[in-house]
Amino acid sequence: MVSVCLFFAFGVWLLQQQAALPDLHIAGWFAPLLAAPLLPHRTPWQRAIRRVLVAAIACALGFSYAAWVAQLRLADSFPAEWQGKDIEVVGVVAEMPRQHERGLSFAFDVERVATPGARVPSRLRLSTYIGEEGEALALRAAERWQLTVRLKQPHGTSNPYSFDFEAWALERNLRATGYVHGKGDNRRLDAGVAAPGYFVEQMRESVREHFRRTLGDAEYAGVLIALAIGDQGSIPAAQWQVFARTGVNHLMSISGLHITMLAGMAFALAYTAWRRSTRLVLRLPARKAAAAAGLLVALAYALLSGYSVPAQRTVYMLAVIAAALWLSRAVAASQILAAALLAVLLVDPWAVLSPGFWLSFGAVALIFYVTAHRLGYSRGLQEGGGQAAGHPLASSL
């Protein structure tokens, strides 16, 4: 399993290095490889050939999957002839707006284009600017608005090692960027649209507003907001400069350690409370109930924090551990990490372009490797008659 996940990741990475997307019909060339698991594997040579073919299948699947997702993203493009023209759109504020010096920026899910003949991508990156009245539009997450916008295709700079805005926008499915025309027919149509993703953003925005009301102009209010919900835009530029110069800017983001800490606390509380009830213990073992509680808390906090790559990695690893506990199976640390790697790439094939992706998985892999030699073989956790998943490094997730 581990090698399959690694070669799948290699295939995804290989696609991201191409100058142009390949024709998806080439995936048919690899169809004969699907018979590899059926090949005989009695002799060492047969087993070696079988392993090579299985690795090739995994690599081809990763390459083809990433190409397919990229084709879908690029198909949702913005026509060049409509750049810079007023377009009326109706849609939903898809995330909590972030404040900048001149107004707000936010993602916008387009539901309908009111301008005849115009074609607009399904998700936009928009900004509003402070007008003559001295304030920008009062937008909130999950609200439905009619907006007059001027759009353009995302473009990045050609400077090597600089921030690639175009790749960043493609990864987030933002196929056009622009601003809201201050003198257009901009009006709120609905105060709240019911959808799970919008609900999470509403909760994040509510937490941020509560922090701002409570802390007011406190010096490090932005830091607390960033550590609570992952909104690093709340930290003033001057403080970011200090953190960068002192080398502590990476501490201003929510890591897997924060999520695992909360999940561990939820596990301990649920385990203790569950064991106090004989009826509950007879219906479901305390470890299984505690594992479910810990996973739910981890998922909730990861969503509240913005669901970054470290948060995703932690949730998926904890999910594998919880599933193994429920199935009374022992799972190796390498299998846990490989399953999390596969899940992250299925959700976001562009994650391989992020240094944080490699640092996140590489650091945990190194911790697993070093401590495995220090602690020796892990027997797992015993409960009842079966062996549940356990690993002494769960706290490092």
Which of 215-219, 251-255, 376-380 has maximum average pLDDT? 215-219
Q: What is the pLDDT of residue 194?
A: 86
Topology of the domain covering 80-190:
OB fold (Dihydrolipoamide Acetyltransferase, E2P) (2.40.50)
Mean pLDDT of 290-311: 89
% of the chain exceeding 90 in pLDDT:
29
Mean pLDDT of 140-169: 84
What are 230-289's pLDDT values in tens digits? 888 888 888 888 888 888 877 777 877 888 889 999 999 999 999 999 999 999 999 999
Residue 394 has pLDDT above 60, yes or no: no
- Which of 21-25, 166-170, 380-384 comes out lowest in average pLDDT? 380-384
**CB crowding 6-42: b at 16 or more within 10 Å, else e:** bbbbbbbbebbeeeeeeeeeebeeeeebeebeeeeee
Check: CB of residue 368 under 8 Å from CB of residue 334.
yes
Q: What is the pLDDT of residue 111?
A: 92
What are 127-138's pLDDT values in tens digits? 988 765 556 688
The residue ranges of every structural domain in the chain are 2-75, 80-190, 196-252, 256-396
In whole angstroms, give the CA distance from residue 97 to residue 211: 16
Mean pLDDT of 380-387: 38
Distances (CA, A) of 234 to 154, 217, 239: 24, 12, 10
Q: What is the pLDDT of residue 1?
A: 78
pLDDT bracket for residue 169 (50, 70, 90): confident
Mean pLDDT of the chain: 82
Q: What is the pLDDT of residue 110?
A: 93
Q: What is the pLDDT of residue 39?
A: 59
What are 92-113's pLDDT values in tens digits? 999 999 887 778 889 999 999 9
Residue 178 has pLDDT above 60, yes or no: yes
Q: What is the pLDDT of residue 387?
A: 39
Mean pLDDT of 159-185: 82
Which of 6-15, 124-133, 187-196 has maximum average pLDDT? 6-15
- Which of 64-78, 150-164, 244-258, 367-381 comes out lowest in average pLDDT? 367-381
Residue 267: is it exposed, middle or buried by C-beta count within 10 angstroms (0-12/13-18/19+)?
A: buried
Check: CB of residue 287 under 8 Å from CB of residue 339.
no
How does DSSP classify residue 392? T
pLDDT bracket for residue 385 (50, 70, 90): very low
pLDDT bracket for residue 31 (50, 70, 90): low
Which of 208, 209, 123, 133 lies closest to 169 in space, CA to CA? 123
pLDDT bracket for residue 177 (50, 70, 90): very high
Q: What is the pLDDT of residue 92?
A: 94
Q: What is the pLDDT of residue 273?
A: 94
Helix extents (H) in the chain: 2-16, 44-75, 165-171, 196-215, 221-229, 237-246, 256-275, 278-283, 286-304, 309-327, 333-347, 355-375
The pTM of the full predicted model, rounded to 2 decimals, is 0.76
What are 38-60's pLDDT values in tens digits? 556 667 766 777 777 788 888 88
Q: What is the pLDDT of residue 102?
A: 77
